[in-house]
Structure 1
């Protein structure tokens, strides 16, 4: 199920924002915050659809998100990720 108002449920909501906007190896630590987040997919879709350039969003760095955007320019990432999330949920049943 897709969560429209995802930010209040985010694992990072109590994290200092500066911890998610780091460079280099520190990004791996920031990505750990996202690892068990219940709204990771929604967060990633937000970053991709709005082409947010900085920080770790949905467990992905700027570089990782740019690579996805290059592979599927013009994609509605919400649609892509929502379909994948729904398919995963159905497969788990």
Structure 2
């Protein structure tokens, strides 16, 4: 199930922003915050769909996200990631959508 209001559930919600917007080897520490996050997929989709250039989002660095965006520049990352999380099966739209 996709979480629309994902930020309050993020593992990093209590972290200082400086911990997530780092360079070099410090990015690996930031990515560890994401490892067990219950809304990691939603966070990553947000960063990819909005082409956020800085920081670690959804366990990926800006360089890693740029590589994905180059491969599929017109993708709806929410759709891609939601479908992948559900095992590749398209899900019916919720009632009223």
Q: Settle same-fold status: TM greater than 0.5.
A: yes
Show CA shifts across 1:36-66 (max 9, x none): 0000000000000000000000000000000
**Superposed, which structure 2 residues align to 1:56-71 within 5 Å?**
56-71=56-71
Largest Rg, 1 or 2: 2
Instruction: Name structure 2 gaps, 5 residues minimum.
Output: 89-97
The C-alpha deviation readout for 1:9-62, integer Å capped at 9, x for no partner, is 000000001100000000000000000000000000000000000000000000
Partner Cα separation in structure 1 for residue 6 and residue 87 of structure 2? 20
TM-score normalized by the length of structure 1: 0.93
Residue 11 (1) aligns with residue 14 (2): no
Please give the alpha-carbon distance, in whole angstroms, between the structure 2 residues aligned to 1:32 and 1:80. 23
Q: Bigger relative contact order, structure 1 or 2, given CA contacts below 8 A and separation 6+?
A: 1
Over aligned residues, Cα RMSD in angstroms?
0.8
> Greater helix share, 1 or 2?
1
Aligned to 2:50: 50
